[in-house]
C-alpha cells in the first residue's frame, strides 16, 4: 500500500517507525500482539491525511509526527476492540488479536494503544488536540454502539445508516485532517475546510467499505465477504435493495435472522446485486467524494491539495 502514497512514503515510514517505537514500549505479550496488528498493515489512510493536511500550515514532520502516529494507534485500538465485540476471526488476511491471544489480551491491547495515543497527542501544548480526538473517540463508540443496537432490526433506515457511519468513521477521518493542519498552525478556515473534506471523504470511504463487504474477493479483502449481513447490519446497498426490490421482504427476513445459513447470506447478496444496490451505493459514494473535492477548491493550490484530490478518487475506485 505504501507505494500508493508516492512522495509521502518517506514521511509515512517515519510515522510507522514512531508507532513501532511506541508500541514496543508496551509489556511483552501486549507488545507482541500490538506488533502483530501493526505488521498486518493497512492503508495508513489517517496518518497520510494528517501529513498531507499539515502542509497547509508550516509543515514540519517532527511537529505532525505525534498526531499522525496517534490517529493510527487509535484506529488500531478501535479495530482490536471491535473484533472482540464482533468475535471476528480474521482481519487483513491474518488472525485477529482476539482470535490468537484471547479477548483478555485484546481488551488490554486496545486500552494500551488508546492511552499511548493520548500520551502522544498530549505532547502538544495545545490541549485541544487531545480534547478533539477524545471527543471523536466518543462519537466512534456511539456509532459502533448504535450499530450493535440496530442490528437484526428491520427498522434500519438510510438516515440512521448515514448518522452511524458519520460517527463510526467520518468524524475521525475529519479530525485527522483538521488536526494535521492545526498542529502546523494552518489558518482556522483552512483547518475547518479540511475537516469538512475529511468528513465527506470518510462518508465515501465507509460506503465503499460496505459495498466491498458484499462484492469483494475474500483474498483481496482479507476477511469473509457478507460479514455485515451475517451480523444483521443493514448497510446502504441492503437498505436500498429492500425498499426497491420485489424480493425486499425476503432480504429483510434474511438480514434479521440470527444464525443464517451460508446459502441465505449468498441469496441476500444476490438480491442486493439484482436490485442495483451496489450501483446505487457507489453513486452515493461518488457524490460524497465530489463533495469532499468541493471543500478543497478554495484552498491554496499546493501539491498536497492534488494528493488529497487523488485520495478522494482512490477511495471510490479501490477494491480493498
Decide if residue 19 touches a second copy (CB under 8 A): no
Minimum separation from the CB atom of position 79 to a second copy (A):
13
Q: Rule CB under 8 A: say whether 112 interacts with a second copy.
A: yes
Nearer to a second copy by Cβ, of 134 and 216: the residue is 134
The answer to the question of residue 107 lying near a second copy (CB under 8 A) is: yes
Rg of the chain over all Cα atoms, to the nearest angstrom: 19
CB atoms within 10 A of CB 36: 16
How many residues line the site for a second copy (CB under 8 A)? Answer: 42
84 vs 201, which CB is nearer to a second copy?
A: 84
Rounded CA gap, 70 and 113, in Å? 9
How many whole angstroms separate alpha carbon 24 and alpha carbon 131? 25
The residue count of the chain comes to 320
- Asked if residues 7 and 304 have their Cβ atoms less than 8 Å apart, the reply is no
Burial of 220 (0-12, 13-18, 19+ CB in 10 A): exposed
Q: In whole angstroms, how close is the CB of 171 to a second copy at the nearest point?
A: 13
Cα separation, 20 vs 164, in Å, equals: 31
Q: Does 108 bind a second copy (CB under 8 A)?
A: yes
Determine, following the binding rule CB under 8 A, whether residue 193 of this chain makes contact with a second copy.
no
- How many alpha carbons lie under 13 Å from residue 30 in its C-beta half-sphere? 19
Site for a second copy in 124-153 (CB under 8 A): 124-131, 133-135, 137-138, 141-142, 144-146, 148-149
Which listed residue (2, 35, 40, 85) binds a second copy by CB under 8 A? Answer: 85
CB 2 within 8 A of CB 13: yes
Q: How far is the CB of 149 from a second copy (least distance, A)?
A: 6
Residue 106: is it exposed, middle or buried by C-beta count within 10 angstroms (0-12/13-18/19+)? buried
Alpha helices for 184-319 (secondary structure H): 188-215, 218-221, 227-230, 236-244, 248-256, 262-274, 277-296, 303-317
Measured from the CB atom, the residue of 129 and 236 that comes closer to a second copy is: 129
Least distance from C-beta 27 to a second copy, angstroms?
A: 5
Phi, psi of 110 (to 5 degrees): -60, -45
The answer to whether the CB of 210 falls within 8 A of the CB of 236 is yes
Instruction: In angstroms, give the least distance from the CB of 179 to a second copy.
Output: 12
Residue closer to a second copy, measured from CB, 55 or 230: 230
Residue 40 sits in the site that holds a second copy (CB under 8 A):
no
CB nearer to a second copy: give 128 or 302: 128
Q: Is 159 in the site for a second copy (CB under 8 A)?
A: no
Choose among 67, 279, 43, 243: nearest CA to 159: 243
Please identify, using beta-carbon distances, which residue of 50 and 275 lies nearer to a second copy.
Answer: 50
Residue nearer to a second copy on the CB measure, 37 or 193: 37
Selected from 5, 59, 114, 295, the binder of a second copy by CB under 8 A is: 114
**Site for a second copy, rule CB under 8 A:** 26-30, 81, 84-85, 103-104, 107-108, 110-112, 114-116, 118-119, 122-131, 133-135, 137-138, 141-142, 144-146, 148-149
Amino acid at each position: 500500500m505504501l507505494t500508493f502514497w508516492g512522495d509521502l512514503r518517506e514521511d509515512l515510514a517515519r510515522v510507522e517507525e514512531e508507532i513501532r517505537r511506541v508500541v514496543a514500549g508496551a509489556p511483552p505479550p501486549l507488545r507482541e500482539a500490538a506488533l502483530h496488528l501493526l505488521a498486518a498493515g493497512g492503508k495508513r489512510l489517517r496518518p497520510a491525511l494528517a501529513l498531507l493536511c499539515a502542509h497547509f500550515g508550516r509543515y514540519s514532520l517532527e511537529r505532525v509526527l505525534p498526531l499522525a502516529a496517534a490517529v493510527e494507534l487509535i484506529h488500531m485500538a478501535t479495530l482490536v476492540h471491535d473484533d472482540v465485540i464482533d468475535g471476528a476471526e480474521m482481519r487483513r488476511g491474518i488472525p485477529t488479536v482476539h482470535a490468537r491471544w484471547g479477548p483478555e489480551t485484546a481488551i488490554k491491547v486496545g486500552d494500551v494503544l488508546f492511552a499511548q495515543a493520548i500520551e502522544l497527542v498530549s505532547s502538544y501544548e495545545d490541549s485541544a488536540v487531545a480534547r478533539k480526538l477524545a471527543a471523536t473517540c466518543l462519537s466512534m463508540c456511539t456509532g459502533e454502539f448504535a450499530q450493535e443496537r440496530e442490528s437484526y432490526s428491520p427498522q434500519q433506515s438510510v438516515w440512521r445508516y448515514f448518522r452511524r457511519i458519520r460517527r463510526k468513521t467520518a468524524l475521525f477521518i475529519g479530525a485527522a485532517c483538521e488536526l494535521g493542519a492545526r498542529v502546523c498552525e494552518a489558518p482556522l478556515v483552512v483547518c475547518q475546510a479540511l475537516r469538512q473534506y475529511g468528513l465527506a471523504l470518510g462518508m465515501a470511504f465507509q460506503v465503499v467499505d460496505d459495498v466491498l463487504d458484499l462484492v469483494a474477493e475474500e483474498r483481496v479483502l482479507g476477511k469473509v465477504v457478507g460479514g455485515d449481513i451475517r451480523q444483521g447490519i443493514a448497510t446502504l446497498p441492503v437498505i436500498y435493495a429492500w425498499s426497491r426490490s420485489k424480493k425486499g421482504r425476503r432480504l429483510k427476513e434474511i438480514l434479521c435472522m440470527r444464525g443464517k445459513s451460508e446459502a441465505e447470506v449468498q441469496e441476500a447478496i444476490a438480491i442486493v446485486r439484482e436490485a442495483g444496490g451496489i450501483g446505487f451505493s457507489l453513486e452515493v459514494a461518488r457524490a460524497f467524494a465530489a463533495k469532499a473535492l468541493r471543500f478543497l477548491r478554495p484552498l491554496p493550490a499546493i501539491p498536497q491539495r492534488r494528493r488529497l484530490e487523488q485520495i478522494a478518487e482512490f477511495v471510490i475506485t479501490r477494491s480493498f
